[in-house]
Amino acid sequence: MTAHLFTTQRSISSKLKFAFRLSLSVALVQSTFCCNLPAHSQVQVIKMGSSASKKLEESGKKIEENGKKQDSALLAQYDSLVEQYFASAFSFAPSWGTQVGFHQYDKQLEDLSAAALKNNEATLIDYRRKFSDPAFLQLPRAQRLDLAMVQASISASLLDLQELHWLNRDPDKYPSLIADSVFSLAKRNFAPVDERLVSVISRIEKAPSLLAAGRANIQPDIVPAIYAEVALEQLPGTIELFKTTIPAAFASANPELKEKFEKANAKLIAELISYQTFVKEKVLPNAHGQFAIGEAAYLKKLAFDEMEDEKLDVILANGYKELRRLQARFKQLAHEINPKVSALECFESIASDHPQPDKLVSSTANVLDRIAAFIEEKKIVTIPSKDRVTVAESPSFMRALTFASMDTPGPYEDTAKEAFYYVTPVESDWDKKRIEEHMRFFSYADLINTSVHEAYPGHYVQFLWVKHAPSKVRKLLGCSSNAEGWAHYCEQLMMEQGLPASSTESGEKEKNLEQKKLEQKKLELVQIHDALLRVCRYIVGIEMHTRGLSYDKGREFFIKEGFMEKANAERETKRGTKDPTYLVYTLGKLKIIALKAEYQVKMGDKFDQKDFHDRFLKCGFPPLKVVRTEVLDLDWPKSN
């Protein structure tokens, strides 16, 4: 009941302050004006001597000091509760602890048994109650903003457990968690190889229990068939990870440790193969669930994950408006580039100019320094570190649902600073047609735009800022409409700033102005095409989960409206069944553009884009409502 004690004390303190100020005001009014009152008013003026006045002043100071102590005590209570909450969260999700840089959790693995899930649900409900203490509404704005983020995070976790039931519906959750958890110990040298291998062994030994929990939790009749299919697509990559990638990462380890690892690893591989059979024979044939989560759950997910409370019809209308704008610009640019062919044919001619599959990593790496230099030259945003990102192939277990991604060290990782920009390579069993369709995503122009999104000034630069975020909450909690919205906003921003389509080396200087303009238009066409992908996600995600759009119709939407290859449209639609709110890219971009316009109005002639971008990133990556409050210096309501 300590929380209520602080409420009472703060209330008394406030009343004492008010009473003191009121009595002092009356005394001042009387001493100033009563000497001029007529005699018949019979008002007696009491003059205080210097001793009484001093006592009153000292009394006031004590009350003020007590008030400050109450404020300090309330902050300490809140800070303590935040620490307790994250300790509890990491005990339930130790893999997250490793990823953010808290390596005391490295030997642990998630317990997703039914009993553990029930315990976690009860714990979350208890923390929801504790963070709802009315006393916390008297905290300073910065803490109240963080408080709102913690409360939203708790609500999002409870939504997953109580309504969305991902752990009962998605068989991929379990093997992918194991792969991600173990890989996080292998990919960065945050500790000596033997020390990390000890942690790997510990997690691998616990992994069969996690797969057993998956078998017990999965309810085939509510599993959407597409989820089972994606799990079966992902599992070979996960098995391959443990057969080759993890052993290779620890080749230099102590022989005795390696022997222990090999025994545990062989058992895990057998369990993964058995789980694969379980999904194939027990889950897939009986998978009759619906992937759509419904409008009510969708709105809750938006509210808790993104603090977004606009009506869904308005959100959807905004998406269609952006789609039509982008399509018109796409067609206009294509006509300017080559008026003799259709817009799609024009784009395909650009997309066909891509690296050979075995040159994908090196070609991607080649553009990064040039983009970073352009950012510095144009004073777009501060890059707060000289550390550079490493380009690498996407790990095998991640390839089914992603083309490119950024993997940064956690905000509390002090030793291993490696950040990985992953690009998904072709698979050895693909035919020529599928390889070509895949590589068209990595045209030379698209490598520039994707690198803007993933690295400079997108995800990687934002990560560099998050390490300096103002609180633990801001370092650990955030939302996708901020992170993905920022990266997508950067794509459009860099086009507006005139990012060159090619380098300015000696051979490039010989190009005439018209050639350079043509290349810029081609680069913008590719950027618009990527934006069309994001806005199609926006619309398809809403339509599939709340408006009855079928999987096949969703795939056709990507092809027709987004000018996409069939193979890539398939991948995007699959992702949308499992990621209902992947509208976050376009949603965030539009809101950041609107916030920038508001800030320009506020600052007038003093507006500076680098100042705006730095202020934005200084916030961490919280919901954009929080960013708007801080950037525009607005009030935040004192309500739960």
pLDDT of residue 497: 96
Characterize 151-174 residue by residue with b for buried, 16 or more Cβ atoms within 10 angstroms of its Cβ, and e for exposed. bbbbbbbbbebeebeebbbbbbbb
- Cα Dmax for the chain: 108
555-591 pLDDT, tens digit each = 999 999 999 989 889 999 999 999 999 999 999 999 9
CA-to-CA distance for 17 and 26, rounded, in angstroms? 14
Strand partners, 219: none
Which of 111, 135, 159 lies at the terminal end of a domain, its last residue?
159
| Domain shared by 251 and 150, yes or no | no
pLDDT, residue 115, reads 98
Which residue did the predictor score with more confidence, 529 or 21? 529
- The boundaries of the domain holding residue 256 are 165-286
- pLDDT of 515 reads 87
Question: What's the confidence (pLDDT) of residue 11?
Answer: 34
pLDDT digits (tens, 9 = 90+) for 74-125: 999 999 999 999 999 999 999 999 999 999 999 999 999 999 999 999 999 9
- Is 472 found in the same domain as 488? yes
Residues 584 and 534 in one domain: yes
Q: What is the dihedral of CA 278, 281, 283, 288, to 10 degrees?
A: 180
Same domain for 119 and 254: no
Give just the sign of the alpha carbon dihedral 577, 579, 585, 586. Answer: positive
pLDDT of 171 strictly over 80: yes
Q: Is 602 found in the same domain as 462? A: yes
Final residue belonging to a domain, choices 115, 139, 159: 159
Q: How confident is the model at residue 68 (pLDDT cuts 50, 70, 90)?
A: low
Instruction: Identify the pLDDT of residue 20.
Output: 30
Residue 513: predicted pLDDT: 84
Examine residue 632 and state whether it is found in any structural domain, yes or no.
no
Q: What is the pLDDT of residue 314?
A: 98
pLDDT digits (tens, 9 = 90+) for 257-278: 999 999 999 999 999 999 999 9
**Could you give the number of structural domains in the chain?**
3
Residue 217 has pLDDT above 90, yes or no: yes
Residue 570, Cβ density class (10 Å: 0-12 exposed, 13-18 middle, ≥19 buried)? middle
Q: What is the pLDDT of residue 9?
A: 31
Say what the pLDDT of residue 568 is.
87
Mean pLDDT of the chain: 89
38 pLDDT band (50/70/90 cuts)? Answer: very low
User: Do 130 and 64 sit in the same domain of this protein?
Assistant: yes
78 in Cβ contact with 67 (< 8 Å): no
Task: Answer yes or no: do 280 and 415 share one domain.
Answer: no
Note whether 365 and 386 are same-domain residues: yes
pLDDT band at 637 (very low <50, low <70, confident <90, very high): confident
The percentage of the chain sitting over the pLDDT mark of 70, rounded to a whole number, equals 87
User: pLDDT: is 41 or 226 the higher one?
Assistant: 226
State pLDDT tens for residues 340-397.
Answer: 999 999 999 999 999 999 999 999 999 998 999 999 999 999 999 888 899 999 887 7
pTM metric for this prediction:
0.86
